[in-house]
Amino acid sequence: MALLELRNITRRFGELRAVDDVNIAIEAGEFFTLLGPSGCGKTTLLRMIAGFDRPDAGSILLDGRDIGEMPPEKRPVHTVFQSYALFPHMTVAQNVAFPLRMAGKPAVEIATRVAEALEQVHLEELAQRYPDEVSGGQKQRVALARALVNRPRMLLLDEPLGALDAKLRERMQIELIALQREVGITFVFVTHSQPEALALSHRIAVMNDGRIEQIDTPSRLYGFPRNRFVADFIGNCNLLGATVVETTAHELTLDLRSLGRVVAPAAGNARVGQQGAFALRPEQVRITPAAAAHELRNHFVGKVHDLLYVGDVTTYVVELPGGLRLEALLANSAPGRARVFEIGETVRVAWRHDAGSFLPE
Amino acid sequence: MARTNTERARQSLVAAPPLVFLVVFFLAPAIIMALASLRYPGEFGALAPLVATKPGEEAGLTAENYRLFFSDSIYLEIFVKSFGIAALTTLLCLAGAYPLALLMARSAKRRRDLMVLLCVLPFASNFLVRVYAWMIMLGPFELLFTPIAVICALVYVHLPFMVLPLYTNLERHDPLLLDAAQDLGANAWQCFWRVTFRLSLPGVFAGSALVFIPVLGVFAIPEILGGIGDWLVGNMIKEAFLGVRDWPFGSMLSIMLTLCVLAIAWVTARLARLGGGRA
């Protein structure tokens, strides 16, 4: 049985369906992420799990028990807020002690557990400081310690890294993964940042317009997006208009308008004549000099139209016959070389027959 | 260095006029008052000269006024009663103003401004008119010239001075803190007591000072609405200056009152610091 089960959850704000018939089952010990652009309903969903908002329809089950009518203070679920919401009139230690005091724990137990929690997030020395005397990253850790100290069944994190700068965010991501492994508590993480979601999660639910587009592991989400939205939202993706012309057990033959036929991995429900998009990641496209030997089944000759150098890799935009543009990624592994090809150069782009995926309309 | 010096010069230039104003119109009168409390009263009011001009005339400095204050318990009793009335008024104002300020702070933005306006609206009419209005209101209940009448009017007049500082404080609270408290297991009462109230303590102290101190000095309200037994320090001081025309005695009472207020302020500040400090 799943730890948390959301069944047919719908929440309307006037005409708007902020959350529309959502079904999710989260297992105990999982690091589960709700990912989507702002306004997709992920925060509304989180607030309903915490108890600050009620669904208009559907039920929320924790350990198989319906908690829909339970007020937030009774739910064994704690939240880390984006702005941390630390109590400014309490020291770091008093902030962390707060949930234990509310639970009526004896003073001795409070003292030891606060010390433990502060040690877990490496804040022992700052116990007597006030929130406005510690840095942003430290505030973040206080908020984590405060939410974890009473060992909730589930920890909800509402874009907790959003207020940190890029370097610090990366460090906190690593700490978060380690912390979750250490405490073994189920994390439900909300973010609009797809690299963050991919880096942290065991499973991700991609949301758009109040609906779940796909729930999967990061690698499957990235490798096998179910539709155009997911393909486009997670990482960079070439999306080419395609029609199915032939299907076999393992392969599809697609007609890429103006470009011709390519071979793609089979998609379960594809039928001959079906319209859709062919999704191909830039790093799956190999780019070689036009004259070089090639052994891949999908290959075309084109011209470098543009390139974007970002240090470790360069993205080449290759214009193919018929005006179609394809992005290809090449690692700058040769030292000191920023680019292998120049704008205007004729190159060959190719990809494996089992790369990319067909997304029916 | 040079820059900080010019900066400092500019700052003192800006601070100078109010500073001069305070020294001339606040500190100087206080010193004059302190000196006056150590002199003899003049024959027809005012002060006796420092050097005797006629034989047998009382002149120079004396501690007689202070001796008088401690020789008769009636003065101390009125002092204690005045502080009691001021404390009671402050408590009643706090009890009445807190829910109102909380309601205002948690109302929609547009309604808030209207409510603030309604709070200060009574100031548009004259203070004495409003006190006499209480005579009309309390008359039918046979409460006139009783301590209850005095308390009613004191609370009524000073309520806005409690509401406004409380409201300005409560309005700035981050509503997310209450969500966080509730999320971490606090019920409605614990949310209020451990978060809202603690954070509002500066407002509570400011409002209390704005009510407590002026109440100690009132004389019009007890004079109009109270009986003869409802005299407060303010009435004694007023009577000393305007009634019996004993300026030194009135000055002594004023100085004693100021000293008491300062002592209370000092003790309160100490208590606030001991009680966990930052609020």
Q: Per residue in B97-123, pLDDT tens?
A: 999 999 999 999 889 999 999 988 888
Domain ranges of chain B: 66-278
Q: Is there a contact between B176 and A81 if contact means CB atoms under 8 Å apart?
A: yes
- What is the per-residue pLDDT across A250-278, written as a single tens digit (0 to 9) for each? 888 999 887 889 999 888 778 888 999 99
Q: Does residue A140 share a domain with residue A203?
A: yes
Give residue B279's pLDDT band: very low, low, confident or very high (50, 70, 90): very low
> What letter would DSSP give residue B42?
P
Q: Does residue A199 share a domain with residue A326?
A: no
* Sign of the CA dihedral with B66 first, then B68, B71, and B77 last: negative
Instruction: For B66-278, give the CATH class.
Output: mainly alpha
Last residue within a domain, chosen from A198, A229, A260: A229
- What is the per-residue pLDDT across A203-256, written as a single tens digit (0 to 9) for each? 999 999 999 999 999 999 998 898 899 999 998 899 999 999 988 888 889 998
Instruction: Say whether A172 sits in a helix, a strand or coil.
Output: helix
Q: Does residue A175 share a domain with residue A92?
A: yes
- For chain A, the domain total comes to 2
Give the integer Cα–Cα distance in Å for A189 and A159: 7
Q: Can you give the pTM of this predicted structure?
A: 0.81
Q: Is there a contact between A98 and B190 if contact means CB atoms under 8 Å apart?
A: no
Q: Does residue A335 share a domain with residue A276?
A: yes
- What is the per-residue pLDDT across B65-83, written as a single tens digit (0 to 9) for each? 898 889 888 888 999 999 9
Burial grade of A82 (CB within 10 A; 0-12, 13-18, 19 or more): middle
Give the integer Cα–Cα distance in Å for B185 and A70: 12
- Helix segments in B106-194, DSSP class H: 109-120, 127-138, 147-171, 175-183, 188-191
The residues facing A4 across adjacent strands are A26, A62
Confirm whether the ipTM is greater than 0.85.
no
Task: Tally C-beta pairs within 8 A across A and B.
Answer: 59
Answer for the pair A3, A27: CB distance below 8 angstroms, yes or no. Answer: yes
Q: Does residue A156 share a domain with residue A127?
A: yes
- What is the per-residue pLDDT across A311-328, written as a single tens digit (0 to 9) for each? 888 899 999 988 889 999
The parent domain of residue A181 ranges over: 4-229
- Helix segments in chain A, DSSP class H: 42-50, 92-102, 107-120, 136-148, 166-183, 194-200, 218-223, 228-233
Smallest CA–CA distance from A98 into chain B, residue: B184
Last residue within a domain, chosen from A229, A244, A265: A229
Which residues in chain A are contacts of B194 at CB distance < 8 A?
Answer: 98
Residue type, A85: A
Q: Is there a contact between B174 and A83 if contact means CB atoms under 8 Å apart?
A: yes
Q: Does residue A172 share a domain with residue A250?
A: no
Smallest CA–CA distance from A53 into chain B, residue: B179
Answer for the pair A192, A37: CB distance below 8 angstroms, yes or no. Answer: yes
Give the closest residue to A59 by CA, choosing from A26, A22, A31: A22
Q: Does residue A215 share a domain with residue A311?
A: no
- What is the per-residue pLDDT across A120-151, written as a single tens digit (0 to 9) for each? 999 999 999 999 999 988 999 999 999 999 99
Phi, psi of A202 (to 5 degrees): -80, -45
Last residue within a domain, chosen from A229, A261, A283: A229
Instruction: Indicate if the pLDDT at residue A336 is higher than 70.
Output: no
Q: Is there a contact between B184 and A98 if contact means CB atoms under 8 Å apart?
A: yes
- Residue A77 CB neighbours (<10 A): 24
